[in-house]
């Protein structure tokens, strides 16, 4: 089994077929491309030659490799992403090529980086940072989707106006991870924010070009908001709220998961809420703490 671009492209197609988010697909294929390049440098020409020792040496290489974008070494997040990509590639090989290589336990980072979460007070301060105009209404709706509903970035990006189920007090997630669908409950406050966004702010944005659009979140250019645009809005609110910690879209998801567990919901209930396929993915939140 020769290491080549065709195998890399086939892996990318496999990830897309399974419904991985576009960002995960791009990052995973990039990591595998880097892994292939490393194998060439150590004169490995086929995957049959990949041993546990080779994987361990690659892990050691990542720990000592300089960061190309900034001074210092690679972050633990980046190293973990590379190892996880190799694990995904291994599953692809097993399912598609009837072949896999052994990944030693010591090649898995011993400690995951701490997940930043926001306290309920910090969440309230971000809501208070929303302005009273149509953009502020959109910001409140964004907070409602990412914090109140705990959606992933890709899930929120793909929301359409028809996914709002106001009478049922639900938000329909059509394109969840691995193509899983779910209906997420919403509170009265979130419904009110979504209604204000839908019937006031969104209509205001549509009027800029007098066109129709299905997307729930629209930019001022009347286009579906990208993941980067959504992240930017959240970070603007965090800056206004004077929150001195990294805040992203997943920070809001981590925060609501932790707060729900702290409020007394069971692990199974939170797992269904987040759209996890197994309880293992949800258990990480049992180790998070938050100063209320």
Q: Which of 197, 202, 259, 276 is catalytic?
A: 276
Q: Which of 88, 140, 152, 202 is catalytic?
A: 152
Tell me if residue 253 is catalytic.
yes
Alpha helices in 178-219 (DSSP H): 188-196, 202-206
Tell me if residue 99 is catalytic.
no
Tell me if residue 285 is catalytic.
yes
Instruction: Give Cβ neighbours of residue 246 (< 8 Å, ≥ 6 apart).
Output: 116
Q: Which of 138, 140, 153, 177 is catalytic?
A: 177
Which of 64, 17, 55, 16 shows the shortest CA–CA distance to 35?
A: 55
Q: In angstroms, rounded to a whole number, what is the distance separating the alpha carbons of residues 258 and 117?
A: 8
Tell me if residue 221 is catalytic.
no
Tell me if residue 213 is catalytic.
no
Q: In angstroms, rounded to a whole number, what is the distance separating the alpha carbons of residues 226 and 100?
A: 36
Question: ∠ at Cα 232 (20, 115), nearest 5°?
Answer: 60
Long-range contacts of 171-174 (CB under 8 A, 24+ apart): 171/145, 173/275
Q: Which of 153, 202, 233, 253 is catalytic?
A: 253
Which of 261, 265, 259, 253 shows the shortest CA–CA distance to 21?
A: 253
Which of 153, 75, 156, 62 shows the shortest CA–CA distance to 114?
A: 75
Instruction: Give Cβ neighbours of residue 263 (< 8 Å, ≥ 6 apart).
Output: none
Contact 93, 212 (CB under 8 A): no
User: At residue 46, what are phi and psi to the nearest 5 degrees?
Assistant: -145, 155
Tell me if residue 276 is catalytic.
yes
Give 216's DSSP letter: S
Angle between helices 249-262 and 267-274 (to 10 degrees): 150
Residue reference for tokens 């302005």: 131
The set of catalytic residues is 152, 177, 250, 253, 276, 285
């Amino acid at each position: 089994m020769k290491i080549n671009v065709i195998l890399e492209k086939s892996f990318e197609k496999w990830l897309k077929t399974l419904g991985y988010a576009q960002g995960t697909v791009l990052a995973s294929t990039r990591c595998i491309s880097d892994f292939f390049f490393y194998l060439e440098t150590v004169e490995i020409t086929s995957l049959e030659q990949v041993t546990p020792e080779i994987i361990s040496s690659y892990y050691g290489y990542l720990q000592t490799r300089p960061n190309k974008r900034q001074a210092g070494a690679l972050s633990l997040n980046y190293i973990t992403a590379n190892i996880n990509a190799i694990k995904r590639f291994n599953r692809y090989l097993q399912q598609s090529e009837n072949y896999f290589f052994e990944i030693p336990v010591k090649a898995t980072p011993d400690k995951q980086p701490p997940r930043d979460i926001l306290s309920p007070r910090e969440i309230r301060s971000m809501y208070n940072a929303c302005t009273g105009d149509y953009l502020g209404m959109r910001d409140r709706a964004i907070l409602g989707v990412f914090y109140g509903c705990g959606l992933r970035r890709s899930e929120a990006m793909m929301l359409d106006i028809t996914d709002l189920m106001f009478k049922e007090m639900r938000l329909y997630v059509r394109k969840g991870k691995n193509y899983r669908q779910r209906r997420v409950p919403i509170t009265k406050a979130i419904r009110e924010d979504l209604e204000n966004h839908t019937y006031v702010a969104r209509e205001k944005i549509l009027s800029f070009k007098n066109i129709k659009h299905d997307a729930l979140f629209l930019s001022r250019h009347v286009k579906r908001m990208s993941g980067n645009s959504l992240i930017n809005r959240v970070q603007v609110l965090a800056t206004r709220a004077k929150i001195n910690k990294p805040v992203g879209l997943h920070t809001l998801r981590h925060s609501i998961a932790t707060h729900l567990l702290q409020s007394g919901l069971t692990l199974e209930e939170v797992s269904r809420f987040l759209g996890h396929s197994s309880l293992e993915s949800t258990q990480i939140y049992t180790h998070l703490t938050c100063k209320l």
